[in-house]
């Protein structure tokens, strides 16, 4: 039986790993230099990512980088709403909103977003209310603490067991609030309160998370763990590391990979899927 992830009006078929394209509409994005802060450039990039094979577009208006300028939810809405509206209206793919704020998630869903991607894992009760009041897909991510402090000596006894238990606990709370299991996707949150070793172990043991039965999303594109392994301080020069992780994740249980370099990732996964053939 084909597993699906229910995202608003979309029934996303899970089988071959899907590509979620990152669309940062912040002027201060560290990973792509803020080149899509202009709404026309952002919509054009969204259109291009769909043409290149992205199956979901993830729109974000707040930088979670430690030390990034704080944005009010009202301003975040001003940034993301027109982009989500245009993409949801004009393209046949689900649009996701990357936000920690209930007001932003609500406005995004009203504008046509089909997925709420919350890096704080729906810890905010208002965010749960927004989720209950709509039928969007939900990405529940693990983050240790808050963006400001998450990289200050993160510690775990067993990072995979702890992240997994946390995510299952969050999913259970959402289901207890009345949210259908089929709407939930889990994400270990690579780089969010983890050392290099923690990130590598989460990747190495990804099949354990996938065994939970929930769809798994993985976002490691251009992140610092790649910079650490490759000795590459420039995030735009981390393509090979990003592709290696995407291929690893796709062959070890990730259902969705969240990436900046859509064209290269789609081509990498097309090759991988050809090798894998028709899987049971």
Collapsing DSSP to helix, strand or coil, 7 comes out as strand
The residue written with tokens 């089909």 in the block is 114
- Give residues 194-213 in contact with ligand YH5 (rule: CB under 6 A): none
Stretch that binds ligand YH5, among 43-51, 105-113, 174-182, 189-197 (CB under 6 A): 189-197
What number of chain residues touch ligand YH5 (CB under 6 A)? 19
Q: Which is nearer to ligand YH5, 264 or 279 (CB)?
A: 264
Count CB neighbours of 158 within 10 A: 11
What's the closest the beta carbon of residue 98 comes to ligand YH5, in angstroms? 5
Name the residue whose CB lies closest to ligand YH5.
Answer: 219
- Residue 196 is inside which H or E element, if any? helix 196-204
Task: Confirm or reject binding of residue 99 to ligand YH5 (CB under 6 A).
Answer: no
Task: Confirm or reject binding of residue 251 to ligand YH5 (CB under 6 A).
Answer: no
Member of 23, 97, 143, 190 binding ligand YH5 (CB under 6 A): 190
Task: Confirm or reject binding of residue 268 to ligand YH5 (CB under 6 A).
Answer: no
Member of 94, 137, 219, 253 binding ligand YH5 (CB under 6 A): 219
Encoded tokens for 68: 């990034």
Encoded tokens for 260: 């900046």
Member of 56, 59, 217, 266 binding ligand YH5 (CB under 6 A): 217
Member of 111, 119, 206, 225 binding ligand YH5 (CB under 6 A): 119
CB 235 within 8 A of CB 266: no
Q: Which residues contact 90 (CB under 8 A, 6 or more apart)?
A: 47
Judge whether 223 counts as a catalytic residue.
yes
Residue among 89, 223, 267, 270 flagged as catalytic: 223
Alpha-carbon gap, residue 150 to 67, rounded angstroms = 12
What's the closest the beta carbon of residue 103 comes to ligand YH5, in angstroms? 18
Size (the chain), residues:
280
Count CB neighbours of 55 within 10 A: 21
Beta bridge partners of 217: 256
CB 56 within 8 A of CB 140: no
Judge whether 258 counts as a catalytic residue.
yes
Count CB neighbours of 73 within 10 A: 18
Residue among 100, 170, 238, 258 flagged as catalytic: 258
Encoded tokens for 51: 């043409």
Task: Confirm or reject binding of residue 55 to ligand YH5 (CB under 6 A).
Answer: no
- Catalytic residue positions? 223, 258
Contacts with ligand YH5, residue ranges (CB under 6 A): 30-31, 64, 98, 117, 119, 139, 141, 187, 189-191, 217, 219, 222-224, 235, 258
């Amino acid at each position: 039986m084909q597993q699906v992830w229910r995202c608003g009006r979309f029934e996303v078929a899970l089988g071959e790993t899907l590509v979620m394209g990152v669309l940062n509409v912040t002027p201060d994005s560290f990973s792509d230099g803020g080149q899509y802060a202009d709404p026309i450039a952002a919509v054009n990039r969204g259109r291009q990512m769909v043409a290149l094979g992205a199956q979901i577009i993830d729109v974000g208006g707040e930088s979670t980088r430690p030390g990034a300028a704080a944005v009010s939810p009202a301003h975040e809405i001003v940034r993301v709403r027109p982009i989500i509206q245009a993409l949801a209206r004009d393209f046949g793919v689900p649009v996701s909103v990357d936000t920690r704020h209930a007001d932003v998630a609500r406005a995004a869903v009203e504008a046509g977003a089909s997925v709420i991607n919350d890096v704080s894992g729906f810890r905010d009760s208002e965010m749960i209310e927004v989720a209950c009041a709509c039928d969007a897909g939900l990405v529940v991510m693990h983050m240790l603490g808050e963006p400001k402090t998450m990289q200050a000596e993160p510690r775990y006894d067993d990072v995979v067991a702890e992240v997994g238990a946390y995510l299952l606990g969050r999913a259970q709370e959402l289901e207890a609030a009345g949210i259908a299991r089929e709407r939930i996707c889990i994400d270990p949150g690579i780089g969010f309160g983890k050392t290099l070793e923690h990130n590598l172990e989460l990747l190495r043991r990804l099949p354990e998370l996938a065994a939970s039965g929930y769809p798994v999303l993985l976002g490691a594109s251009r992140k610092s763990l790649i910079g650490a392994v490759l000795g590459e301080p420039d995030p735009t020069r981390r393509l090979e590391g990003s592709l290696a992780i995407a291929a690893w994740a796709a062959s070890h249980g990730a259902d969705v990979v969240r990436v900046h370099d859509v064209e290269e990732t789609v081509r990498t996964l097309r090759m991988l899927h050809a090798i894998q053939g028709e899987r049971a």
